[in-house]
Amino acid sequence: MKFVITGALGHIGSYVLRQLPLAYPDCDIVLLDNLMTQRYSSLFNLPSTANYQFQELDVTEENLEPYIEGADFVLHLAAITNAAGSFSIQEEVESNNFRATKQVASACIQESVPLLHLSSTSVYGTQEETVAEDCSESELQPQSPYAETKLREEKYLGKLAENSDLKYVICRFGTICGSSQGMRFHTAVNKFCWQAVMRKPITVWKTALHQKRPYLALNDAFQAINFIVEKNLFNGEIYNVLTDNLTVNDIVEMIKIHVPDLNVEFVETEIMNQLSYEVEDKKIRNCGLELSGSVGACIKETIELLEGIQNSHGQ
């Protein structure tokens, strides 16, 4: 089998590219990344059970058809993903992310290759206690320029499929947690783990401590991707994918298990969403997906990884 991953060296991609050979030995994996974030380490010590091809390129500008030709599916991850940081680079996020999706979708149409497009549960902003994929338009209230662009990409793919042979599926992932070679530390769980291990106060948005949000363990993210490939679930639908709905306080308490002297400091932020809600993922679970991940296990793994670095330097 042949797989193509755009934005392959990021937090999710660097994990997926190592898991695919376990499910599909001797597969061909084409990795596309512009190295904007210089995560060269994602290419270190790749499994020998897959045939990797890495191309440093910008998917918003390159002709992607030669790389996508003959693929079984494209996993589109290429994007500027820092939601909180997207306020100061709104035009760049819109231009880069939306243009990338247009380019990838066009190449998939030309080569008749299915597309798995990653969106985000941050497209929601509801007054209701729970929200699902079939929610009203009024419940789609993105809370950042990043999320606004994700919603626009979703709508674009839907319109494009009406007038083309595009086969696609959209997954709205919860906030990712868990360690990988390409992980960053700007999202809630990873940032908190880093701050805790470095014995710095966890910085929490003033309005966020008791707000519920969806989180997704990396191994569950891969299970969902693999499930879609195995079931050929490229049906033009949108699926929420998450491990659990948790408050920031829940996460803080999980970290305290491993760092008992943890301090919490409240800060202002441009994202001052007062809403709290749970995201439902019954739709994809009713298709047969079973997830086994744990946010607590991700926190334990990440803290142990970071503490190993500290201990190796005698600190």
The dihedral of CA 76, 80, 85, 90: what is its sign? negative
Q: Does some domain include residue 270? A: no
Q: Does some domain include residue 33? A: yes
Residue with tokens 């939601």: 83
Q: Does some domain include residue 118? A: yes
Please check whether residue 172 is in contact with residue 239, taking contact to mean a CB–CB distance below 8 angstroms.
yes
Q: Does some domain include residue 70? A: yes
Q: Does some domain include residue 107? A: yes
pTM for this entry: 0.92
What is the pLDDT, as a whole number, of residue 314? 45
138: exposed, middle or buried (C-beta count within 10 Å: 0-12, 13-18, 19+)? Answer: exposed
Q: Does some domain include residue 155? A: yes
Residues with Cβ within 8 Å of 147's Cβ and at least 6 positions away in sequence, in order, are 83, 120, 122, 123
In whole angstroms, give the CA distance from residue 102 to residue 99. 5
CATH, residue 63 = 3.40.50.720
Low-confidence ranges of the chain (pLDDT < 70): 81-91, 269-275, 309-315
Please check whether residue 240 is in contact with residue 214, taking contact to mean a CB–CB distance below 8 angstroms.
yes
Cβ atoms < 10 Å from Cβ of 310:
12
In whole angstroms, give the CA distance from residue 136 to residue 139. 5
Cβ atoms < 10 Å from Cβ of 25:
11
Domain that holds residue 229: 2-176+215-243+279-291
Q: Does some domain include residue 273? A: no
Please check whether residue 168 is in contact with residue 108, taking contact to mean a CB–CB distance below 8 angstroms.
yes
DSSP character at residue 293: -
Q: Does some domain include residue 183? A: no
What is the pLDDT, as a whole number, of residue 269? 62
Residues with Cβ within 8 Å of 186's Cβ and at least 6 positions away in sequence, in order, are 82, 84, 85
The dihedral of CA 287, 290, 296, 300: what is its sign? negative
Q: Classify strands 244-247 and 212-217 as parallel, antiparallel or unpaired.
A: antiparallel
What is the pLDDT, as a whole number, of residue 134? 95
What is the pLDDT, as a whole number, of residue 109? 98
The three-class DSSP label of residue 40 is: helix
Number of separate domains in the chain: 1
Please check whether residue 231 is in contact with residue 288, taking contact to mean a CB–CB distance below 8 angstroms.
yes
Q: Give the residue among 315, 135, 286, 26 at the shortest CA–CA distance from 307.
A: 315
Count Cα neighbours of 143 within 13 Å in the Cβ-side half-sphere. 19
In whole angstroms, give the CA distance from residue 50 to residue 24. 8
What are the pLDDT digits (tens) for 112-148?
999 999 999 989 987 788 999 999 988 898 878 888 9
In whole angstroms, give the CA distance from residue 194 to residue 163. 46
Residues with Cβ within 8 Å of 51's Cβ and at least 6 positions away in sequence, in order, are 26, 27, 28, 29
What is the pLDDT, as a whole number, of residue 81? 62
